[in-house]
Amino acid sequence: MKIQRLIYYMLLTVLIASCQKTSNEVQIKDVDPLPSWNEGASKSAILNFVQSVTDSTSASFVDVEDRIAVFDNDGTLWSEQPMYFQLAFALDQIKKMAPNNPEWKETEPFKSVLNNDIASVMQQGEGALIQIVLATHGGMTADAFEANVVEWMKAAKHPRFNRPYTDLIYQPMLEVLKYLRANDFKTFIVSGGGIGFMRPVTNLLYGIPAEQVMGSMMKVEYDKENKVINRYPELAFIDDKSGKPVGIYNFIGKKPIAAFGNSDGDLQMLEWTSTNENSFMMFVHHTDAEREWAYDSLSHIGRLKEGFGVATTSGWTIADMKKDWKVVYPFELDK
Amino acid sequence: MKIQRLIYYMLLTVLIASCQKTSNEVQIKDVDPLPSWNEGASKSAILNFVQSVTDSTSASFVDVEDRIAVFDNDGTLWSEQPMYFQLAFALDQIKKMAPNNPEWKETEPFKSVLNNDIASVMQQGEGALIQIVLATHGGMTADAFEANVVEWMKAAKHPRFNRPYTDLIYQPMLEVLKYLRANDFKTFIVSGGGIGFMRPVTNLLYGIPAEQVMGSMMKVEYDKENKVINRYPELAFIDDKSGKPVGIYNFIGKKPIAAFGNSDGDLQMLEWTSTNENSFMMFVHHTDAEREWAYDSLSHIGRLKEGFGVATTSGWTIADMKKDWKVVYPFELDK
């Protein structure tokens, strides 16, 4: 009887273990993959799209190798107000580099930057901004630039929230990224921002490794003697508007089946994606002045209206921040 | 007693199943990951390197996200004789396109191509070859070009082996690719060849998806009206020599820890990789005239000697085809 009881308990243990496994699996399936999205058309559209392209019995099924999803960064994965974070970085770098560039005290646009007269910098137009970007993003090794970016990301605080800029990423979009990857999508960033500025942090912030980050590029050259990559103060590629499909073709070599953007700069990427039979296009609409910002156009990013117009007339999915998002930033979850 | 016996058999089944699992695991561990490599210094060097960077207790341990391995293609993953396969494609395309370009009958270098006078084409130098490449790789949509490549890959036969060119991939290198990936490496192609020529076949041949293939690039533009990518007869980026570290920086954003090449065009990529503390550099040496080819320099690919010289003086691993490889091509395994 003793042995029988032992055998009975052993069997029971095995059975319980196997039951637990099944119960876990069911549980995982029942968990909402997008908990920060309010129920509604936008959330349903994402869920339905992923379900249809991953269902091997569906006519819309897409092979794993073609499950490519591309995301703009500024205004789509993190905020872009009151200015592009990369521009805030560049302005801070000008101040840091000023001691070695005494002539900047008397030369625009640097003079205005050093005097904290940002309004005047902005008034000097795009040319002035490009001058600031070139001076702070070139003329150094790739390693030195990366160190500057990492240092700034750690120390700088966003003026409105008094938190690191990297705290201002969108919780609902993090859930979309994770949900897509759980369904064997490969997620890429395709941003007008610089690759060297984003790559040091994208894996930590979004789970997107450096090699899946496309963006605008400075001219770089390999120094054979010192075996280092040098960055030059010259733009080599602008990953914006029609540049985005070009960047995707060159870097990925596949037309995405899902694209997420929020501005005119993303329009061509979304339109190109839409020529794929089974595709999903989402336009993030900044409608929440209280938790984020509400805007349809802004000086430093140009007009957004064309993109939003095409998005609505084409029936793309609109993510209305105010209506669709339960929370905007991850730190709201801690409250 | 009946129930007892039943319980006994059930338990036995469970035990056998669990034992089988253990035995399978042991078996997998004991299988040689590089069966086409002869025992020797080169094979040991690969195995030791992978073991050291994946052993979490070792000082040489490398995080999974930094396990980047880059491979040249021509002469490193597939053969490059009697001419680059991409050049063979271009010559065939000239013939295919000739009816729509009647003036080629009287214009060099096209005239010599149409007369099958390849010696004369080669004598006309690099400029002539570039003319042939531009005429056949540009002036069409990306989709049309891809269709041309796929059609050619299916139909064309290598003159020496009378087999598809894609049969001439190196079995020992396929094993290295697989072995690295099994150890959480991400494998990339970094080739002087064109991305559009390689990407349609790399996943099938090497298990390397299009988005992990870097190469030389033609100028491409996005046509907003027709929502297509157009290729232009203009070189935009040459992924060779110092271009390889530049390409890796722009596409991957990480310095590789393993690099595989076979020519002077790979030298800078290997040298840059070697500046990583825990890194592995391999130079494939073409020493087997019987099964493949034996050469240290060749007209259409320039000198290889500088790269081989640096490889030997730097103590990089040499893959001597004749000595180190049991088989060269996968089709030899079928014999």
pLDDT digit string, tens, across residues B160-192: 999 999 999 999 999 999 999 999 999 999 999
Q: Tell me the C-alpha distance between B110 and B329, whole Å.
A: 33
* Confidence band for B3, pLDDT divided at 50, 70 and 90: low
Output the pTM of the full model.
0.91
Q: Tell me the C-alpha distance between B231 and B133, whole Å.
A: 12
Q: Which residue of B6, B222, B230 is the best one to mutate when testing the A interface, meaning the one whose CB has the most A CBs within 10 A? A: B222
Q: Which residue has the tokens 């984003």?
A: A198
Least confident of A32-36, A42-46, B13-17, B52-56: B13-17
If we measure between CA atoms, which residue out of A95, A90, A98, A78 comes closest to residue A164? A78
Where in chain A does DSSP place strands (E)?
68-71, 140-141, 186-194, 213-223, 228-237, 258-261, 280-285, 297-298, 302-303, 317-320
Q: Nearest Cβ partner of B249 from A142, A213, A274?
A: A142
Question: Please, what is the angle between helix A85-97 and helix A125-137, to 10°?
Answer: 60
Phi and psi torsions of A56, nearest 5°: -65, -10
**A14 vs B contacts (CB less than 8 Å):** 14
* Confidence band for A60, pLDDT divided at 50, 70 and 90: very high
| CA B17 from centre of chain | 41
CB atoms B65 and A203 under 8 Å: yes
Q: Tell me the C-alpha distance between B16 and B8, whole Å.
A: 12
Q: Tell me the C-alpha distance between A307 and B138, whole Å.
A: 31
What is the total residue count of chain A?
Answer: 335
Q: Tell me the C-alpha distance between A142 and A129, whole Å.
A: 21
If we measure between CA atoms, which residue out of A263, A272, A275 comes closest to residue A309? A263
pLDDT at residue B321 is higher than 80: yes
**B201 vs A contacts (CB less than 8 Å):** none
Which of the two residues, B335 and B179, has the higher pLDDT score?
B179
Q: Tell me the C-alpha distance between B314 and B302, whole Å.
A: 22
CB atoms A250 and B220 under 8 Å: yes
Q: Nearest Cβ partner of B14 from A14, A242, A246?
A: A14
* pLDDT confidence of residue A226: 97
Structure tokens at B209: 């998806």
pLDDT digits (tens, 9 = 90+) for A203-216: 999 999 999 999 99
Q: Tell me the C-alpha distance between A169 and A274, whole Å.
A: 26
* pLDDT confidence of residue A30: 74
If we measure between CA atoms, which residue out of A208, A206, A168 comes closest to residue A331? A168
The per-residue DSSP string of A277-315 comes to SS-EEEEEE-B-TTTS-B-SEEGGGEE-HHHHHHHHHTT
pLDDT at residue B124 is higher than 70: yes
* Confidence band for B13, pLDDT divided at 50, 70 and 90: low
B92 neighbors B156 (Cβ within 8 angstroms): yes
* Confidence band for B270, pLDDT divided at 50, 70 and 90: very high
Count other Cβ atoms within 10 Å, centred on residue A179: 16
Q: Which of A305-309, B170-174, B296-300 has the highest mean pLDDT?
A: B170-174
CB atoms A227 and B252 under 8 Å: no
* Confidence band for B69, pLDDT divided at 50, 70 and 90: very high
For B242, the 3-state DSSP assignment is coil
* pLDDT confidence of residue B252: 97
Q: Which residues contact B4 (CB under 8 A, 6 or more apart)?
A: A4, A7
pLDDT at residue B301 is higher than 80: no
pLDDT at residue A296 is higher than 90: no
* Minimum distance, in Å, between the CA of residue B282 and any CA atom of chain A: 18
* Confidence band for B305, pLDDT divided at 50, 70 and 90: confident
Q: In the 8-state DSSP scheme, what is residue B317? A: E
* Minimum distance, in Å, between the CA of residue A221 and any CA atom of chain B: 6
β-strand pairing of B68-71 with B186-194: parallel
If we measure between CA atoms, which residue out of B51, B66, B71 comes closest to residue B202? B71
B268 neighbors B302 (Cβ within 8 angstroms): no
Least confident of A31-40, A64-73, A120-129, A217-226: A120-129
What is the total residue count of chain B?
Answer: 335
Q: What number is the ipTM of this complex?
A: 0.90
